[in-house]
Amino acid sequence: MADTQPPEQPPSDQSQEQGEDGGPTKSALKKAAKAAEKEKKAAEKAAKQKELAQQKADSDVDYAVENYGALPLNQSQSRPRIQRDEIHTLSNRVGEKILVRARVQTSRAQGNKMVFLNLRQKTDSIQALLVVTPEKVSKQMVKWAASLADESIVLVEGTAEKTSEPIKSATVSDVEIHISKIHLISGLDARLPFSVEDATRPDDLTRADNESDISAEVQFKRVLLETRLNNRVIDLRTTTNQAIFKLQGAIGDLFREYLSARGFIEIHSPKLQGAATESGASVFQVSYFKGKAFLAQSPQLAKQMAIAADFERVYEIGPVFRAEDSNTHRHMTEFIGLDLEMAIEEHYHEVMETLDGMLKNIFSGLRDKYKKEIETVQRQYPADDFKWREGPEGTLVLSFREAVDILVEDGVPREDLDDFSTANEKRLGVLIKKKYDTDYYIIDKFPMELRPFYTMPDPEDPTLSNSYDFFMRGEEILSGAQRIHDPNLLCEKMRSKGVDPDSMKSYVDGFRMGCPPHGGGGIGLERVLMLFLKLNNIRRASLFPRDPKRLEP
């Protein structure tokens, strides 16, 4: 029987990976090295992923969550009496902690770690800076602050820090706020019709320092007056308008102070009247139960009746209504009148001089006490400073005839000057400024036919009157006169002007019982403000203007 041999077996892996001396082959060594390298890279990747996951987990923890966000609706839940600061004081607070409530005028993020805010209060603005700071200011906090809508109201806590160079975009240019906390008090629920920053830009582009500034300026949107008035609440937020209406309030204060110091009493007369004050053509008629009434064109009748009642000297600040369909730069259907009336001892120029002194007190008071506000307005509406005579020569006073002569000398036909048109008024103002270097002057002795029925005639020439107008920059701002205090002469003049004395019986009866000689004047508050600042349109000097085409807002 033949021997049976087992089949040949292939060499094992181990035998293949072993050299002749029993050690690993070169290929085995390479394979092991690759495996080790792969395991090392996998371990490194896993470690990196673990590190990133930990970083993400750490970043998801917002350590500044208490330092920002929207505050609960203020329903007067508490009153901790924490002092709030005003922006205009912060130049003197360097290094100190401050707390400010302000509007966000603009915001500008730089990456995800820094945001600049321009904060505004009334006429003042300041730059604020929020930067990511470990354990204090997080990225989430910066991102939230950068997302705040313009015009949001915020409560900001931080420190006032000196800046290395002036900040041109803020009125407070030498310090900035480094924010540590910022909370939203009131956000926006609608889209802004225009930005407050655009609405504050100068109208006169030639004020730019160079051509590149001009080129940059024209890229911005211009906000038209009609758009402003249609969205007046937003428009009034501009630093310019904040200054304008601070100056308007100052005019009223200066008017009161001057007259109260000279024995005048403030009165408040009714604005509903049973008859027209001056002429039916320019009066608003309203229904009054089963009859009709008229809105007062001025407090004229009430002022005179107060003098007849021995008040001696009175003034009033109140609304005046004129139903004149005049769509001009200087007319409104409702405006604020500054009126005064006073008894005369000897001559009606006593009244004219009192009015003159009062107006010059207003001019100097605005210039001396409100320089900052005037400069704020002039940045947007550049104008020459208003000029008036302050020396011993006194205010320039011309007679109506002298004023006519000045215009005739300049080429205006005399037959066109029975009264002054708006164009001739302005022309006269230019001529007077050139000749006398003043924006403010008085014209006396107007023709009788141009004045209302209660104006006293001149004693020597009955075609003239004891009346005067005051002018600023070539436009009338005050009309006044000596009034007729004799009832018989008053009735005569009323009839000559087409007014039935019986229709104003209570007014005429006040003079039948004895009344001292007296006179006064009425001033348009908005017109004085417009011309002092040279705003060029009276609507800019009225909070919510009323004209033949506007009853809203």
Q: Which H/E stretch holds residue 197?
A: helix 196-199
Give 342's strand partners.
313, 519
* Alpha helix ranges (H) inside 231-342: 232-235, 239-260, 300-308
| Amino acid in position 289 | F
- In degrees and rounded to multiples of 5, residue 143 shows phi and psi of -60, -40
Give the active site residue among 527, 539, 540, 542: 527
In the numeric block, which tokens belong to residue 155? 């409560």
Residue 196 to residue 257: CA distance in whole angstroms:
35
Cβ neighbors of 154 (< 8 A, separation 6 or more) are: 101, 102, 103, 104, 119, 148, 182, 183, 184, 185
Give the active site residue among 330, 483, 518, 539: 330
Give the active site residue among 324, 334, 350, 475: 324
* DSSP state for residue 117 in the 8-state scheme: E
- In degrees and rounded to multiples of 5, residue 8 shows phi and psi of -70, 135
Beta strands 396-399 and 440-444, pairing class:
parallel
Cβ neighbors of 372 (< 8 A, separation 6 or more) are: 123, 243
CA-wise closest residue to 141 among 61, 57, 62, 55? 62
Residue 93 falls in the annotated catalytic set: no
* DSSP state for residue 8 in the 8-state scheme: P
Give the active site residue among 476, 483, 485, 542: 476
Give the active site residue among 103, 228, 322, 427: 322
Cβ neighbors of 99 (< 8 A, separation 6 or more) are: 82, 83, 84, 85, 155, 156, 157
Give the active site residue among 479, 518, 540, 542: 479
Residue 345 to residue 356: CA distance in whole angstroms:
18
Ordered DSSP codes for 441-463? EEEE--BGGGS-TTBPBPSS-TT
Other beta carbons within 10 angstroms of residue 259's beta carbon come to 22
Block residue for tokens 């939203």: 184
* DSSP state for residue 91 in the 8-state scheme: G
Residue 349 falls in the annotated catalytic set: no
Residue 330 falls in the annotated catalytic set: yes
Residue 245 to residue 234: CA distance in whole angstroms:
14
* Alpha helix ranges (H) inside 318-473: 349-369, 371-380, 400-409, 422-436
In the numeric block, which tokens belong to residue 343? 């008894």
Residue 331 falls in the annotated catalytic set: yes
Q: Length of the chain in residues, anyone?
A: 553
Residue 421 falls in the annotated catalytic set: no
Block residue for tokens 């590149």: 212
Give the active site residue among 93, 232, 331, 379: 331
Residue 25 to residue 29: CA distance in whole angstroms:
6
Beta strands 68-70 and 175-186, pairing class:
parallel
Q: Which residues are known catalytic residues?
A: 322, 324, 330-331, 476, 479, 527
